[in-house]
Amino acid sequence: MSRHDRRHQRTLRRIGAVLAAGLATLLLVSPGGATTSAGSSTAGSSDAKQWCALVIKLNTKYGTMRNKRYLPEAMVSPQAWKRVIDAAVTQRSRLLAVTPTSIKAAMTHELDWFARVRKNNYNRVTTPLGSFTIADITKLTNFQRTQCGITFSS
């Protein structure tokens, strides 16, 4: 294993729960879950409220969240991750339409990574992060904490 690969794996392990939470965030792209169209979305706090409501509703529905708290990654099945990734890739434009401007770039990077994970047989560990950075993950999770009131299991 190359030095770069080992470093990549260490980075993914280190961000463990944060990455899991970032992945779980994308459950909000379920075809039946998003009720806001791009045309009805307004700027500012209403975007945040809509986005947060979708995140909470769908993460709870798919079993990655309880009472606005993400479950530990070990409690989320591989099938659930596949559903998250498939939904995110399939519903990319819908997701980005309701994503607040302040996190849109981070969300775009995460969606790009999801597409690579899907092409790599859903292997999250060996898939290169590309433009998806720890800073993006931090931005997404901080937004969920501060704007949505979501907590993360450790």
Cα 128 to chain centroid distance, Å, stands at 16
Q: Over the stretch 21-75, which tens digit does the pLDDT of each residue have?
A: 444 444 433 333 333 333 333 445 668 888 888 778 777 777 778 899 988 988 8
For residue 139, the model assigns a pLDDT of 95
| Reported confidence tier of residue 5, pLDDT bands at 50, 70, 90 | low
Strand order in the sheet with 151-152: 65-66, 69-70, 151-152
Q: Are 152 and 72 in contact (CB under 8 A)?
A: no
The model's pTM: 0.70
Helix 78-90 and helix 16-25, axial crossing angle in degrees, nearest 10: 50
Question: For residues 82 and 132, what is the distance between their CA atoms, to the nearest angstrom?
Answer: 19
